[in-house]
């Protein structure tokens, strides 16, 4: 076969110049690469040959941007790799390099098709597009029948071909194969070499490391390496390949050390100090921008996962039990993916990157492989969150019970106005009109208190009577036990239940019957007209009233009578005003204005606010108690993630070598953490709600057996549910930061070598 003749700079793929590389061994350094310079042109099939330990793999890793040299540079398609940061080199690898390793590395939780399509998603392809392309590449290498297998379930030869399909996914300019046939049998090795040769014939550039001289015939050039130096660079032709193979097998070192006319001659320069090398660091992003990106990612994750849970679960159930194959769930997932990507914001990078949804799929696949550990961790988080949810729901439930006992919604807009005790300001008709005309005052109900003596049959007692409008009883939340409201045009009154106790009579005995009432006003003018001297003493001014109804809800015995009759007694000073405010009115502002007039105001909201303040403190205390359980669960999650990182170290190295950038590696582990915490939060809410409901049922049974009513002591507001889910995801994000930062700092090669 003829060697390619492309020698122009335009056709140059890789150019290394004066590469040096040393490794520390004990207290000194061993030089592995010595002033290596090399050019590889487009369309060439180049074999790098030499004994073990001569620096072949180190050279490959250096020109791929994985192993930084001590000195020298690598030009890849016109770009100096070692003037770039690690993320930029990763971007170049995933778009221009296909890598085939001797020892195969896989994402073990993914199937064959997903492992191959991973490169496509790294390049920004949609899942569907990447999968379609992966099937074509697997067909090229004859592995389309193994798509649903896990790679480690297959033979070494099959894995090698799948690895080659993965290397082809990015349509690379250069395929680098490090001992691709080293662990294969003869038949599988030859099949792999034929595939590589066909790719080279199709225009691909291939750089391959091998120990087998039998493969020379497939190459265009063979580079012979010894002691960190490239000693020979031979063009392979049909008439010289057999002789080269014979000489190599006979005495490799003697063959390499030969210096003939036209042969490659190497000149060695001075070795640099390896300690002087410093790799360029990635430019740090603006901290505020990084914070906004993180916040947007957490919000998008929380929103999309919650939506997925709400919409997707019912359709999965329907699909499983009623349909053989349904497109409903697929359409829903596609909709959520688009919504997630839109919510997260547009990409500003020139180079497309892996979508967060695809990153989430990889994280979820790993969790599903480790089902038992994942379930235990999720339940651990769920129990902690469930305990917090339970305690908080009990706090909300008790608050709801107490507030409902004190006030209804209508009472929340009511304000009671009284004169200040010992003050000079009275509530007269002028003040009444002033207050009733205030903007925001919807209704006003005056009250006049009158001392009263009540006579019934042979008994009498002193009570307080309230002159009110008949509607007052309804708006002030008085419940009718018997009868109806009084008719203001008739001589009728409504009495409270406590009046019955004082008079010693039953409910059914008084409604419709009559009481004699004597009002004792404090107005001096009124006293002059009704207090007359008589032989028997004070004049008896009794008025007969019919009892129209009995109400509950008062703490003292009270008689309610029409306010018009109180005014007939010449009482013009109101003892109280009850006002109802319109919706949306600032109660605090109205109260300040009234108090500025010299009067006192009160509202059921004062009590409600006190109760809410108390329960707020109670909930904080309960949350602290529950938080202890949650912290224990978080420690368990941190332990799980740390173990996960150790187990996936090689996978991290693989992902980085394939071109995954730091931000994507970081998101991979953070997403895994957030998935655990999200499902832990959801399960915790379910546990908390069930515990609260169970307690309510138990207390209700006890109350009802003793003649009471059912009690709902647990309440889980929607805001609490959303808050718990968001906090869970946020905790997951923060928990995932440590393992994600460790993963980001890993060297790809160190990770791949990890055992």
Position 446 confidence tier, pLDDT thresholds 50, 70, 90: very high
pLDDT at 330: 53
Give the whole-angstrom CA distance, residue 692 versus residue 685: 10
Which residues have a Cβ under 8 Å from the Cβ of 136 and sit 6 or more positions away?
Answer: none
Element (H, E) at 748: helix 748-753
Give the whole-angstrom CA distance, residue 358 versus residue 374: 20
Q: Which of 49-63, 134-148, 337-351 has the lowest mean pLDDT?
A: 337-351
Q: Which CA distances in Å does 129 have to 110, 133, 412? A: 17, 6, 59
Mean pLDDT over 457-472 rounds to 88
- What pTM, to 2 d.p., does this model score? 0.66
Position 7 confidence tier, pLDDT thresholds 50, 70, 90: very low
Task: Please give the sequence-ordered ranges of beta strands (E in DSSP) within 363-430, or none if there are none.
Answer: 414-419
pLDDT at 410: 58
Residue 264 predicted with pLDDT over 60: no
Residues 728 and 385: beta-carbon distance below 8 Å: yes
Q: Which of 103-117, 266-280, 412-426, 478-492 has the lowest mean pLDDT?
A: 266-280
Mean pLDDT over 389-404 rounds to 76
Give the whole-angstrom CA distance, residue 52 versus residue 36: 17
Quick one: what percent of the chain has pLDDT higher than 90? Answer: 23
Residue 143 predicted with pLDDT over 50: yes
- Give residue-wise pLDDT tens across range 177-215: 988 888 788 888 888 899 999 999 988 999 999 988 999
pLDDT at 291: 65
Alpha helix positions (H), 77-126: 86-96, 112-122
Residue 314 predicted with pLDDT over 60: no
pLDDT at 62: 93
The whole-angstrom distance between residue 349's C-alpha and the CA centroid of its chain comes to: 24
Count of C-beta atoms within a 10 Å radius of residue 83: 10
Give the whole-angstrom CA distance, residue 92 versus residue 64: 9
Mean pLDDT over 103-117 rounds to 89
Quick one: what percent of the chain has pLDDT higher than 70? Answer: 82
Q: Which of 133-137, 241-245, 477-481, 664-668 has the lowest mean pLDDT?
A: 477-481
Written as one string, the DSSP assignment of 698-713 is HHHHHHHHTT------
Residue that has been written with the tokens 């018009």 in this structure? 564
Count of C-beta atoms within a 10 Å radius of residue 439: 8
- Give residue-wise pLDDT tens across range 690-713: 988 888 888 788 777 766 667 787
Position 60 confidence tier, pLDDT thresholds 50, 70, 90: very high
* Three-state SS at 416: strand
pLDDT at 21: 92
Residue that has been written with the tokens 């001569």 in this structure? 54
Position 135 confidence tier, pLDDT thresholds 50, 70, 90: very high
Residue 131 predicted with pLDDT over 60: yes
Average pLDDT across the chain, whole number:
81
pLDDT at 215: 93
Residue 334 predicted with pLDDT over 50: yes
Give the whole-angstrom CA distance, residue 476 versus residue 411: 8
pLDDT at 389: 85
In the chain, the N- to C-terminal Cα span, in Å, equals: 42
- Give residue-wise pLDDT tens across range 639-672: 888 888 888 888 898 999 988 988 889 888 998 8
Q: Which of 196-205, 222-231, 273-282, 512-521 has the lowest mean pLDDT?
A: 273-282
pLDDT at 467: 92
Give the whole-angstrom CA distance, residue 385 versus residue 686: 10
Residue 610 predicted with pLDDT over 90: no
Residue 474 predicted with pLDDT over 50: yes
Which residues have a Cβ under 8 Å from the Cβ of 303 and sit 6 or more positions away?
Answer: 339, 340, 343
Nearest to 381 by CA among 682, 107, 621, 78: 682
Residues 48 and 221: beta-carbon distance below 8 Å: no
- Give residue-wise pLDDT tens across range 30-48: 899 999 999 999 999 999 9
């Amino acid at each position: 076969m003829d060697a390619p003749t492309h020698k122009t700079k335009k056709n140059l793929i890789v150019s290394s110049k004066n590469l040096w590389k040393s490794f520390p061994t004990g207290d000194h350094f061993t030089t592995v690469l010595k002033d290596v310079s090399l050019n590889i042109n487009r369309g060439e099939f180049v074999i790098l040959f030499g004994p073990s330990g001569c620096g072949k793999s180190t050279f490959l890793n250096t020109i791929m941007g994985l192993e930084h040299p001590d000195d020298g540079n690598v030009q890849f398609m016109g770009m100096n790799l070692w003037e770039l940061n690690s993320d930029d080199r990763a971007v170049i690898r995933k778009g221009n390099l296909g890598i085939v390793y001797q020892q195969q590395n896989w994402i073990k939780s993914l199937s064959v098709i997903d492992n191959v399509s991973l490169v496509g998603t790294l390049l920004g392809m949609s899942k569907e597009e990447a999968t379609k392309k992966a099937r074509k590449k697997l067909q090229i290498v004859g592995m389309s029948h193994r798509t649903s297998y896990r790679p480690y379930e297959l033979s070494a030869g099959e894995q090698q071909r799948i690895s080659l399909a993965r290397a082809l996914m990015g349509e690379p300019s250069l395929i680098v194969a490090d001992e691709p046939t080293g662990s294969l049998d003869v038949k599988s090795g030859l099949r792999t070499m034929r595939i590589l040769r066909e790719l080279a014939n199709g225009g691909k550039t291939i750089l391959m490391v091998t120990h087998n001289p039998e493969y020379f015939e497939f190459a265009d050039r063979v580079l012979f390496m010894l002691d960190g130096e490239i000693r020979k660079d031979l063009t392979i032709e049909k008439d010289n390949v057999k002789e080269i193979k014979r000489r190599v097998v006979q005495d490799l070192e003697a063959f390499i050390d030969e210096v003939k006319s036209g042969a490659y001659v190497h000149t060695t320069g001075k070795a640099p100090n390896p300690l002087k090398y410093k790799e360029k660091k990635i430019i740090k992003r603006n901290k505020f921008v990084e914070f906004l990106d993180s916040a947007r990612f957490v919000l998008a994750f929380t929103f999309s996962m919650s939506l997925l849970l709400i919409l997707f679960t019912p359709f999965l159930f329907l699909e499983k039990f009623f349909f053989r194959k349904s497109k409903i769930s697929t359409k829903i997932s596609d909709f959520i993916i688009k919504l997630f990507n839109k919510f997260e914001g547009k990409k500003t990078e020139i180079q497309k990157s892996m979508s967060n949804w695809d990153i989430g799929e990889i994280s979820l696949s790993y969790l599903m492989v480790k089902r038992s550990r994942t379930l235990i961790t999720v339940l651990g988080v769920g129990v902690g969150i469930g305990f917090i949810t339970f305690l908080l729901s009990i706090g909300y439930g008790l608050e709801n019970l107490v507030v409902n006992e004190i006030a209804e919604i209508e009472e929340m807009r009511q304000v009671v106005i009284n004169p200040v005790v010992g003050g000079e300001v009275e509530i007269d008709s002028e003040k009444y009109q002033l207050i009733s005309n205030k903007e925001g005052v919807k209704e006003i109900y005056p009250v006049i208190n009158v001392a009263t003596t009540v006579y019934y049959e042979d008994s009498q007692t002193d009570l307080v009577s309230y002159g009110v409008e008949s509607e007052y009883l309804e708006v002030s939340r008085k419940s009718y036990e018997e009868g109806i409201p009084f008719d203001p045009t008739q001589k009728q009154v409504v009495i409270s239940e406590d009046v019955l106790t004082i008079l010693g009579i039953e409910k059914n005995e008084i409604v419709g019957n009559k009481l004699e009432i004597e009002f004792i006003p404090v107005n001096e003018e009124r006293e002059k007209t009704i207090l007359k001297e008589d032989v028997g003493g004070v004049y008896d001014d009794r008025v007969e009233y019919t009892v129209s109804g009995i109400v509950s809800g008062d703490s003292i015995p009270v008689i309610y009578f029409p306010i018009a009759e109180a005014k007939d007694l010449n009482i013009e000073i109101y003892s109280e005003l009850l006002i109802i405010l319109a919706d949306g009115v600032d109660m605090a502002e109205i109260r300040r204005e009234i108090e500025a007039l010299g009067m006192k105001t009160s509202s059921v909201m004062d009590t409600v606010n006190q109760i809410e303040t108390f329960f707020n403190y109670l909930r904080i205390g309960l949350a602290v108690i529950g938080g202890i359980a949650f912290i224990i669960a978080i420690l368990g999650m941190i332990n799980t993630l740390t173990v996960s990182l150790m187990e996936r170290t090689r996978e991290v190295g693989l992902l980085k070598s394939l071109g995954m950038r730091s931000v994507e590696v970081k998101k991979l582990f953070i997403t895994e953490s957030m998935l655990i915490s999200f499902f832990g939060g959801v399960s915790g809410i379910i546990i908390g709600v069930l515990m609260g409901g169970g307690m309510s049922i138990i207390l209700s049974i006890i109350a009802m057996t003793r003649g009471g009513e059912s009690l709902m002591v647990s309440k889980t507001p929607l805001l609490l549910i959303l808050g718990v889910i968001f906090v869970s995801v946020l905790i997951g994000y923060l928990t995932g930061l440590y393992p994600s930062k460790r993963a980001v700092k890993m060297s790809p090669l160190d990770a791949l070598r990890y055992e």
